[in-house]
Amino acid sequence: MAATAPPLPQKRRLDSSLSSWRWGDRIGFVACWAAGIGLCLIAAGIVLYMGFQGLKYLDATLLVTHPNVDTDQSKSGGFLDPIIGTVLLTLIGIAIATPIAVGTAVWLVEYGRPAWLARLVESGIEVVAGTPDIVIAIFGLALFQKGLFSWMSFSAAGGAVFGRSFLTAGAMMSLIALPMVFGATREGLQSIPAHVREASYALGKTRIATIRRVLLPAVKPNVSTGAALGMGRIAGDTAIVVVLLGATLRLQSEGGLPVLGTLRGTGSTLTSYVYNNSPAGEGAAPNRAYAAAFVLLLVVIALNFAVDGIARRGARYGLESTRLDRQ
Amino acid sequence: MIGNEETHDVERLLPPPIKRIVVDEQLQPTIVQPPVADPVAATGPSAGAVRAGARAHRRGTPGPERMTLDGLSVSYGTKRAVNEVSLPIRQGEVLALIGPSGCGKTTLLRTLNRLTELTPTARREGRILLDGQDVDELEVTALRRRVSMVFQQPNPFPMSIFDNVAYALREQAMKRPGKAAVEPQVIDALRRAGLYDEVKDDLSRPALRLSGGQQQRLCIARALAVRPEVLLMDEPCSALDPRSTAVIEELIQELRSELAIVIVTHNLQQAYRVGDHVAFMYLGDLVEYGRTEQVFAAPRAQRTRDYVGGAFG
Ligand SMILES: Nc1ncnc2c1ncn2[C@@H]1O[C@H](COP(=O)(O)OP(=O)(O)OP(=O)(O)O)[C@@H](O)[C@H]1O
Ligand SMILES: [Mg+2]
């Protein structure tokens, strides 16, 4: 009996129906399925509902006309400025976050000394990653209203620094993207086996050359993935926009210079536009809110596809093909 | 990317194979070294053929000393891994380093190009001379270009085949000669490593898609590209099949005229096939050093006798 019994339950388990399971297992099994399918339904619901509503109200002129403050819906314009605002803010944020995150990850993985400092840096990034965006936003406002940062926004006649601009909002936005870029880069560096570095040193290469020419190219797909994820987070963030971008409907330039003026000025993004036009906001133009929300959703979904594409393309020279048989 | 016509052009532009020039110009004009004395090995790389002819072209006189180890000891923390080893490494010959696992062969090899310095616990005593100069006085990057290394596991960089070799050629991070500038040297290195014909169609292919044997030959090409004087090989065939092993052994035979080669191997027959001199280590000590025939046929030490005894039973 002892010899024949063990295989039996296993076989039963594999191909028997649910009816032979214990009740606890059955409930757990059904719950897992339900959770998975439920999530798919919710995702499909969001996309379909927003798609349906968005397409209903979206038309091409909305994308290219400036918004107006007007109670008459036919005159309140489109959301060109919020689209530009989202793009601009995302680019500023990621442009600040990426070099800092990559540099930090390289230092941590390749040098990481003294150890206490490395631990401190890691916990610092964890804290930043865990801080709610509204807290980051308020901190940013307090920080950038200091006279030292008056060049980033503008000062009122009395010398009070406004503290709200694309630059200040972008700087704080970089904080919410930074942990994603950092995490992806660190993971990439850690997955490069030590013998790759050793091979480079054995060719008479310095550590800097090794980082620059071997390690950084190898983690490029990781950096891109992290950057795309971070851009998705920036594009979707509302709190920092509302607090730090001024949420003026149109781009408001500060000073005469063309680009710097815009960067120092205020504006809005798709998120703040949706918020302000939704039934919750003051504008109460839900059809515009839906259309803009749909555009925002498309942007974020496109970024997610970009992540997948980068990851797949990055495998070209990658270590994945050999990592398994190495270990 | 290198198109086919372009490749042929480059072939025509190439200087004659440099190994002969090196032999002629440097150090040992007296030694006449037939590149491959064994016609069988030259045509068909079967292990048996290499073995049959392998001993045929051994010289009588040893070449000039390239490296000298003088009372070399290495410890990891308190553990002695290499104990007072003194050895000559000669140009134009292969030194085979044998011994049971853990006896310090890899440690010894990695000390020669100061790679052990990457291990924080490792400490070295004794002197290593390269052409009469203490290696500690050399810039470590320069030393490693003169004494280059092939590892036990093929370890190409995650880049294209071309870039793997070109990376070795380019000086350091900031100076970057263009692709066209390094291409002849890349192709020459690949050819010297016997890999070129297999990969010439697409040098932009990822190196990690090559077979293990091809990867190892790419690593040899990379090591050769810097034009080293000494080539260290740490069990270069242990991850390879017999055919790839035979190809690499044949390659060693061809390279031995232009370089000093030190090869670590667990395969005593391989040591016999490729080695001019054999050094037998045991628990960090150099037990025996001598000409291959002598070490295998008439070892002086009992330890050596026990170790090599089983090899040709
Ligand atoms: N990084 C290290 N830290 C501490 N001890 C080490 C280290 N590397 C090697 N050793 C020790 O030094 C001794 C010699 O190791 P080494 O790798 O040189 O042996 P080996 O002759 O190459 O062995 P094998 O034939 O198995 O490759 C071993 O006892 C090993 O445990
Ligand atoms: Mg070893």
Check if the beta carbon of residue B93 is closer than 8 Å to that of residue B106. no
Nearest to A182 by CA among A237, A140, A122: A122
Determine the pLDDT at residue A3: 47
* ω into A114 cis (within 30 of 0): yes
The beta-strand segments (E) located in chain B are 65-76, 79-90, 94-98, 122-130, 133-134, 147-150, 230-234, 260-264, 277-282, 285-291
pLDDT of the residue at A95: 94
What is the distance of C-alpha A178 from the center of its chain? 9
> Above pLDDT 70, what percent of chain A?
87
- With a cut of 70, which residues of chain B have pLDDT below it? 1-62, 172-175, 310-313
Q: Which of A140-149, A199-208, A218-227, B33-42 has the lowest mean pLDDT?
A: B33-42
Q: Which CATH number characterizes residue B277's domain?
A: 3.40.50.300
Interface membership of B239 toward A (CB under 8 Å): no
Helix axes A216-236, A270-277, angle to 10 degrees: 20
Contact across the interface for B151 and A200, Cβ inside 8 Å: no
Q: Could you give the ipTM of this predicted complex?
A: 0.77
- Residue A280 belongs to some domain of the structure: yes
Residue with structure tokens 């089983």? B310
B274 contacts: CB under 8 Å, gap ≥ 6? B54, B94, B96, B249, B252, B253, B263, B265
Which atom, in ligand 1's list, is nearest to the CA of B119? 1
**Ligand nearest to the backbone CA of B103:** 1
What are the residues whose beta carbons fall under 8 Å from the beta carbon of B235, sequence distance 6 or more? B152, B264, B265, B266
**Tokens (6 digits) for B7:** 């490749």
Going along A81-130, which residue ranges are E strands? none
Predicted pLDDT of residue B10: 42
Pairing between β-strand B285-291 and β-strand B277-282 as defined by DSSP bridges: antiparallel
How much is the average pLDDT of A306-320? Answer: 70
Average pLDDT of chain A, as a whole number? 84
The dihedral through the CA atoms of A97, A196, B121, B66 has a sign that is negative
Which residue range forms the structural domain that includes residue B258? 43-155+227-308
The beta-strand segments (E) located in chain A are: none
Residue B115: per-residue pLDDT: 94
Chain A interface, best mutation among B151, B157, B172, by max A CB count within 10 A: B157
DSSP class of residue B90 equals E
Q: Which residues line ligand 1 (CB under 6 A)?
A: B 76, 79, 81, 99, 101-107, 119, 121
Residue A82 is assigned to a structural domain of this protein: yes
> CATH number, domain at A108?
1.10.3720.10
- According to the model, what pLDDT value does residue A261 have? 80
Contacts A–B by Cβ distance under 8 A: 86
> Distance from CA of residue A180 to its chain's centroid?
7
Q: How far is the CA of B194 from the centre of ligand 2 (A)?
A: 25
How many other CB atoms are found less than 10 A from the CB of residue A153?
24
Question: Residue A89, Cβ neighbours under 10 Å: how many?
Answer: 28
pLDDT in tens, A15-59: 556 678 888 888 999 999 999 999 999 999 988 998 888 888 888
Categorise residue A207: left if φ over 0, alpha if ψ from -120 to 50, beta otherwise: alpha
Instruction: Please indicate, yes or no, if residue A98 is contained in any of the structural domains.
Output: yes
Residue B240 within a domain: yes
Is A252:A258 a contact under the CB 8 Å cutoff?
no
Tell me if residue A96 falls in helix, strand or coil. helix
Q: Do B209 and A192 touch (CB under 8 A)?
A: no
Rounded to 10 degrees, the C-alpha dihedral B199/B201/B203/B209 comes to -60
pLDDT tens string A272-285:
888 888 777 666 67
Per residue in A33-45, pLDDT (tens digit) is 999 999 999 999 9
Read off the pLDDT band of A161 (50, 70, 90).
confident
| Range scoring the smallest mean pLDDT among A60-69, A168-177, B7-16, B171-180 | B7-16
Domain count, chain B: 1
- Domain assignment present for residue A162? The answer is yes
Residue A3 lies in a domain: no
The pLDDT score that the predictor gives to residue B163 is: 92
In degrees rounded to 5, what are phi and psi of residue B148? -100, 170
Among all residues of chain B, which has the CA nearest to that of A219?
A: B158
Among candidates B221, B267, B259, which has minimal Cα distance to B240? Answer: B267
Instruction: State how far residue B256 is from chain A, nearest Cα, in angstroms.
Output: 20
Give domain status of residue A211, yes or no: yes
Count of positions (residues) in chain B:
313
pLDDT the model gives residue A61: 81
**Domain residue limits at A204:** 52-326
End-to-end CA distance of chain B: give it in Å, rounded: 52
Asked if residue A251 is part of any domain, the answer here is yes
pLDDT of residue B61: 62
pLDDT for residue B40? 37
Evaluate whether residue A72 is within a structural domain.
yes
* More confidently predicted of A155 and A186: A186
A315 versus A311: the higher-pLDDT residue is A311
Structure confidence at residue A318 (pLDDT): 65
Q: Is pTM beyond 0.90 here? A: no
Count of structural domains, chain A: 1
Is B241 inside any structural domain?
A: yes
Which own/partner contact pairs does B77-84 have at CB distance under 8 Å and 24+ positions apart?
Answer: B77/B121, B80/B284, B81/B107, B81/B284, B82/B107, B82/B108, B82/B111, B82/B281, B82/B284, B83/B283, B83/B284, B83/B285, B84/B126, B84/B285, B84/B286
pLDDT at position A231 is 92
Question: Residue A257 pLDDT more than 60?
Answer: yes
One-letter amino acid identity for B227? Answer: R
Q: Sign of the CA dihedral A296, A298, A301, A306?
A: negative
Interface of B with A in 100-129 (CB under 8 A): 113, 115, 118
Strand partners, B96: B263, B278
Query: Hey, how many other C-beta atoms are within 10 angstroms of the C-beta on B160?
Result: 21
> Residue A158's pLDDT is what?
75
Please enumerate residues of A whose Cβ is less than 8 A from a Cβ of B.
192-193, 195-196, 198-206, 208-209, 212-214, 217-218, 316-319, 321-322, 326
From CA A215, how far away is CA A107, in angstroms rounded? 12
Q: What is the per-residue pLDDT for B43?
A: 38
Instruction: For residue B103, give the ligand 1 atom closest to its CA.
Output: 21
Ligand 1 pocket: which of B107, B117, B121 to mutate (most atoms <8 Å of CB)? Answer: B107
Beta strand B94-98 pairing with B277-282:
parallel
Nearest ligand by distance to the CA of B110: 1
SS3 labels along B271-300: HHHHCCEEEEEECCEEEEEEEHHHHHHCCC
